[in-house]
A and B are shown apart, each in its own frame.
Chain A
Amino acid sequence: MSKKRFCWMTVIFILAAGPAAAKQNLSVWLGYGETLPAFEMVKEKFEKKYPDIKVEILTFSLRDFEAKLASAMPTGAGPDLLALHDFLFPRYYDNGYLEPLPPEFAAIANDPTKMNPTYTAIVTREGQAYGMPYWTGRSTLFYNLDYFQEAGLTRPPDTVDELWQYAEKLVKKDTDGNIERAGITMRLTGPSGGIQKFGYLYYQMAGEQIFELGQKPGTVRVTLKDNMDVAVQALLDRINHLHGDRKVDDWTLKHDAQGFASGVAAMLLRETWAIAFIKKNGPNINFNTAPMPKGKVRGAFNYIEILSVSTQSKLKSQTWEFIAMLQEQEVLNTLLTTSGYSPLRKDRDFSWFLKDHPRYKAVMEDIADYNQYLEPPNIAYEEMTTRVGEVLQAAYRDGALADNPEGCKKVILKMQEVAEDILEDNGILSE
């Protein structure tokens, strides 16, 4: 055989054989890397069943995940399986990137014995669900048992008023009056998180969230003006406890879950994931959790992860099968034990977990009259919460607002105005 002919035959062989030998890729992108072990578990099982499909799981920080997904989906380069945070959901639903749930999944999602309807409502438009709610992070009260004992407190606060009274008893100051330990660590920086945490107590006091679903799907109503007295009181509660004699927290302290885990805060309002975080970063902290303190109502904020299939996927049925595998009891057990997020399937049994980890009771057990609520997903969520949060956090620093309801009223009106302006600009302000 001549050299030339050999070369030609090699090229033809490579061209003909190459594509046939390649495996198909099923890609999964995650913004919560801590849930990876559950996905890895399914990957192994799935690849055994489908040897021609390679599952590729990529994890990113949440912000990177959002940015990468937003730029990849319009160009058709996104993943097959989208694991979406509830506030990201409308961005992809509204633009036709999500497949409707197949009947067998819809049957589960629409069965109240298997899935809380609150979660199904978030993924449903015009009677059709577009994703499978998977896990939730739920707000709860964290309290340091040693500090409570030191202050002579024998039980967690049950009401919002009691929460502030407890904070005043638990704060520790040095001889110069500087705070060494916060009575409660508030969210004083990071505006979008700040408005969310302000909303935790506002919800209990007002009986509704700051941002509620509008009459038309996808639209949002701002409730601050409707609940002006409550909103002013909620703001006064915070400002009065950031300035003057009743001060229970300070900007220079470590904050949030890190502050609680470092022992510089006696109480914290945070979501489920903080349990594992505090155990890891503050192994000597003796703490417990309790349901959110009540006001007019008692309710816990939830943020959920939703599993959806991209309309651009070439492996739609296989991706749904992957999602089905993620619902199996042993996978959900792994999800719960490794990430701390609570799986949403009500027809699965996690009583064994609560026996071993009683701190999760407050975030997993269904208690009578304990509302579970989610923020209304909308396309302007990030911008609106950030901008409104900026107004709120500037007010926190203003000592002149302490015991000043009229001043606080102006702040609340400004928050309402900023939120409505952004919603209107995005065309989703409820009439």
Chain B
Amino acid sequence: MLSHPASRLARLYSKFRQHNGFWILVALGPVYFLFAVIRIYPILETIRLSFFRYHITKKKNPFIGLRNYERLLSDDAFHAALINTIQFTIMAVLITLFLALLIAILLRSIEPVSPIFEIIFYIPVVTPWVPASVIWKWLYDPMYGLINYAISLFGIPKQGWLQEPNLIIYAIVVVAVWKMLGYYIIVFSVGLKNIPTTYLEAAEVDGASPLERLRYIILPLLRPIILFAVVMSTIQFFNVFAPVYVLTASAQGAPAYDLKVVVTEIYRNGFQYYRMGYAGAQSVVLLVFVMMMITLQFMVFRKEH
């Protein structure tokens, strides 16, 4: 007679065979393995490193407990980066989603030609961040840039878009909105197309104004799409790196104000100062922060629902 644990094992094995466990393992195993290696392991390793004074060229990298996190509390550069990132994210998310929804609604009113406009709006989305940012750097050039030339036609003096600390964040928000707008127009367009026209027609017959139809029919039915857009854009903009890196890179003839955001700070600590442990602690804070914001967004949308 089989012992108790052995019989449980046999039952498990029989269930495994019954549910084609082997084939599931063969099919999904490599995917899970890759996911673990590429996604899970780096996150765990980053968390581990954040407890060490880890410098990649040093042979001794001692365990220092929570000292990296302690240092974060008094790091002015990180605080500035965090505040700038929050400001940037709020502005970029609100402007992008507001404009995207507005344009998507307007495009519905010119349904037959809307695909042409959708393609035009989508072109920046497929343009890689770095060349797009370089183009904008030229546009923003204080001496020879097109933007300063355009405003000078209206008698407005030249501005240091990338040199003035008070202007640069707005300059980068403009680039980010321009880049991602097309994507969210498509997202909202898909959502709008899925709203049954009968609802809107019935409301129109009942005498609802366009604004009332927007408020009481379109927006409530678009709620899942809006939630998706808010979550995705928050993650994207909170992790902003390339446009900030390119537009704030101070080069020979193109001086720029060094606007700090969280990811450029992580990059700087990790790959310029080689303080991998400290950069790890910053990454963990970023992760927690983004997770908290996403949770909050889910809670707000669910509560309203």
Contacts and interface: CB of A to CB of B under 8 A. Distances in A.
Interface of A: 63, 66-67, 70-71, 73-74, 91-92, 94-97, 176, 178, 188-191, 193, 251-259, 262, 264, 379-380, 382-383, 386-387, 390, 393, 397, 425
A70 B57 contact: yes
B56 A252 contact: no
Given A63-B272, A425-B71, A255 B255 contact: yes
A97 B59 CA distance: 11
B256 A189 contact: yes
A182 B150 CA distance: 25
Given A189-B250, A251-B255, 20 more contacts: A63-B272, A66-B272, A67-B272, A74-B57, A74-B59, A188-B255, A190-B255, A191-B258, A251-B163, A252-B160, A254-B255, A256-B252, A256-B255, A259-B253, A264-B143, A380-B273, A382-B272, A383-B273, A383-B275, A386-B272
Contact of B258 (A73, A92, A189, A425): A189
Contact of B257 (A176, A189, A256): A189
B77 interface: yes
Contacts of A178: 157-158
A95 B272 contact: no
A70 B273 contact: no
A18 to B, nearest CB: 31
B165 interface: yes
B58 interface: yes
Nearest to A194: B250
Nearest to A256: B252
B143 A254 contact: yes
Contact of A67 (B58, B258, B271): B271
Contacts, number: 82
A425 B64 CA distance: 12
B274 interface: yes
Interface in B218-256: 250-256
B59 A96 contact: yes
Given A70-B56, A74-B56, A189-B257, A251 B250 contact: no
Given A70-B56, A383-B275, A255 B160 contact: no
Nearest to B143: A254
Contacts of A91: 57, 274
Contacts of A253: 142-143
Interface string B245-289: 000001111111110000000001001111100000000000000
